[in-house]
Structure 1
Amino acid sequence: MSRLLVIGCVWPEPNSSAAGSRMFQLLQFFKAENYEITFVSAAARSEFAIDLAKLNIASEVVKLNHPSFDEFLKNQQPRLVLFDRFMTEEQFGWRVDKFAPEAVKILDTEDLHFLRKTRTEAYKKNIPAKNLYFDSDVTKREIASIYRCDLSLIISEVEMELLQDSFNIPGQLLHYLPFLLDPISEDKIAELPQFEERKNFISIGNFLHEPNWNAVLQLKENIWPLIREKLSSTQLHIYGAYPSQKVWNLHNEKDGFIVKGRAGDAEKLMQQTRLCLAPIQFGAGLKGKLIQAMQFGTPSITSTVGSEGIAGKLDWNGSICNTPEDFAMAAVKLYTDKDSWNEANKNGYKIINSRFNKNSHSATFSDKINTLIANLTERRQQNFIGKILQHHQHRSTYFMAKFIEEKERKKL
């Protein structure tokens, strides 16, 4: 049985964020491939993290910039190492190269952090994000990390195109791997609540993620008042993990703007709701809330950024709108028009079954890994830029780590 070492940026919380769901899906994939998995992270364990022991996955808290991880690697000698986001590759990649040099290094980008960061900055400055890509330090760091790894997992086709067309990254270093979801059967569809059995609107998203907070503000200030003018008895329920006081302060029962906080059972809540609202103004990757809505038969209204990378050439399961007026008008129509709602409902199932089919994506990913393992030496020889970046990163991070180790030793 081959060993997989996963180095997590945080402990996976599938019920808190799309990133947590993504990591859980990857762990399930590698379990199905019969890997012996160890998950480590330098972050503190979270009370909302999944119980890895129940999945027969070993776990351990490790220290940053500490030689104990070197011994850990020597003992583990993994066949694969999966880095959770580029920051963990920066922190631990050079140690993997030194103490487990034969391990295949896979980077799960989650979403492109430089794209998320520059879009956020561009939104605030009201300028095109592409004006900021090449000057951002995060861009340089993340692209360097991609080159240093043997394979990087990219969650969106839009991000695949950006990396290849704008940054000329070789296709063999990248692999398109969206969310891995079970197909929705006709029997499952028949069990889900229909139009008349649902009511109200929902917005859901982890509040540690700035685009989600911004979307709630858009709803509160610009969109929900327009919807309430037409649908005065409806409510908008706001769910999300880690709400701050400023989120709770938006709660207003008189206006039907109900802040609920963490969703205990997101699946049940989504099934009870007639429409999902997500006016995302910036961000990157795939929006888990919108894909989750499709899984449970809930049409959605979102923006162009929110819909990015999800439907491909298929029809959206609702409407894509970029102004408050259009957004509110589409929401009212879908909420009140049963025929439109039913058509949107069916579109969501089509998107899930054709775009996120776990079986087909898993088979392709498995073949990619096996081919990479069989041709690792040749692939690394072809990636000369990666070798250059490894050389310089190794020197800088090595001396920084040694400096920190010595500093900490003197404190004892």
Structure 2
Amino acid sequence: MKKVLVIGYVWPEPNSSAAGTHMMSLLRAFRAENWQVEFASPAQKTEHMVDLSEDGITTQVIALNCSSFDEYVQAYNPDIVMFDRFMMEEQFGWRVDKYCPNALKILDTEDLQCLRNSRHEAHKAGREFSHSDLHSDIAKREIAAILRSDISLIISHYEMQLLNDVFKVDSALLHHLPFLVDLQHIPTSTKAFAKRKHFMTIGNFRHAPNWDAVLYLQQIWPLIRKQLPDAELHIYGSYPPPKATALNNPKTGFLIKGWADDAYQVMEDARVCLSP
């Protein structure tokens, strides 16, 4: 039986973020191969984290910048190590190289962090993103992690092309792996349009692009409301900060709902999902 060690940047929260859903898909894919899977993370545990033991996955709390990881990884002796985002490869990759030199190293990029950061900087400056924005310290760190890994999982064709054309990364080091969809759990029927109401959007408030989206929706909502005076915009997402809840305005129908117990249900109840 192969042994897999996944080193997580955060504990998986599939009901909070797309990243959490994607991570659970990968973990379950490993388990479907009848591999032994352990998830380790230095992050603090959270109220919305999933119980991995229900999927037969063991867990381990690890520490940053501590030799205790060396003893731990030697004892576990994994065949495969997957790093959740380049920051975890930076922290633990060299230790894996030293104590488990034969382990296959996989980097799960989630999104390219350098691309996300570059777009964010361009957005803050009020201009269009360009490839010159990518020449950053974050890009150097992330590309270095990709080059140190045996294979990196890339979520979009756009990112694959960017890595090939701009950063000249060998295609042999990259594997295109978009979101995995469980076709058996896709509903065959949903509410009719006439039985739905209002607008909605959903996204973890700790993810900067989601907060930018809320601010943009605040700008355009009066234009929609002018045409549809009774419409409401329901804004869902885990971990809404005070600056978000302060935007809640029942008079204008701009409603900060926060955590959704069932994301599928709140989407089915709405007529339109706004996703700038």
Q: Normalising by the residue count of structure 1, what TM-score does the alignment of the two structures yield? A: 0.65
Q: Corresponding residue for 1:76?
A: 76
Q: Corresponding residue for 1:44?
A: 44
Superposed structure 1 runs of 4+ greater than 3 Å apart: none
Q: Corresponding residue for 2:218?
A: 220
1:182-219 CA distance string (max 9 Å, x none): 2379x933x31111121110011111111111111111
Runs (5+) with no aligned partner, structure 2: none
Q: Corresponding residue for 2:133?
A: 132
Cα shift at 1:128: 3.3
Q: Provide the rounded CA distance (Å) in 2 between the counterparts of 1:75 and 1:55.
A: 23
Look up the SS of the partner of 1:128 in the other structure: coil
Query: Which of 224, 229, 232 does residue 229 from structure 2 map onto?
Result: 232
Q: Provide the rounded CA distance (Å) in 2 between the counterparts of 1:73 and 1:123.
A: 41
Q: Which amino acid is 2:228 matched to?
A: L
Q: Does 1:270 align with 2:267?
A: yes
Q: Provide the rounded CA distance (Å) in 1 between the counterparts of 2:59 and 2:258.
A: 29
- Equivalent residues of 2:118, 2:129 under 8 A apart: no
Q: Corresponding residue for 2:105?
A: 105
Greater helix percent: which structure? 1
Q: Corresponding residue for 1:254?
A: 251
Q: Corresponding residue for 2:20?
A: 20
Q: Provide the rounded CA distance (Å) in 2 between the counterparts of 1:67 and 1:215.
A: 41
Q: Provide the rounded CA distance (Å) in 2 between the counterparts of 1:188 and 1:6.
A: 31
Q: Which amino acid is 1:188 matched to?
A: P
1:231-273 CA distance string (max 9 Å, x none): 1111110111111111111111111111111111111111111
Look up the SS of the partner of 1:202 in the other structure: strand
Compared with structure 1, are the counterparts of its residues 249 and 159 closer, same or farther at alpha carbon in structure 2 (3 Å cutoff)?
Answer: same
Q: Provide the rounded CA distance (Å) in 1 between the counterparts of 2:146 and 2:268.
A: 39
Q: Corresponding residue for 1:203?
A: 201
Q: Which amino acid is 1:264 matched to?
A: D
Q: Which amino acid is 2:173 matched to?
A: L
1:30-85 CA distance string (max 9 Å, x none): 11111100100011111210001111111010111111111111111111000000
Q: Corresponding residue for 1:165?
A: 165
Q: Provide the rounded CA distance (Å) in 1 between the counterparts of 2:212 and 2:184.
A: 32
Q: Corresponding residue for 2:151?
A: 151
Identity %: 53
Query: Highest Rg: 1 or 2?
Result: 1
Matched length: 275
Cα shift at 1:20: 0.7
Look up the SS of the partner of 2:114 in the other structure: helix
Q: Provide the rounded CA distance (Å) in 2 between the counterparts of 1:188 and 1:209.
A: 28
1:256-301 CA distance string (max 9 Å, x none): 111111111111111111110011xxxxxxxxxxxxxxxxxxxxxx
Q: How does 1:172-211 map to 2 (within 5 A)?
A: 172-183=172-183, 188-189=187-188, 191-211=189-209
Q: Provide the rounded CA distance (Å) in 2 between the counterparts of 1:2 and 1:167.
A: 33
Q: Provide the rounded CA distance (Å) in 1 between the counterparts of 2:227 and 2:147.
A: 53
Look up the SS of the partner of 1:43 in the other structure: coil
Cα shift at 1:129: 3.1
Q: Normalising by the residue count of structure 2, what TM-score does the alignment of the two structures yield? A: 0.97
Look up the SS of the partner of 1:278 in the other structure: coil
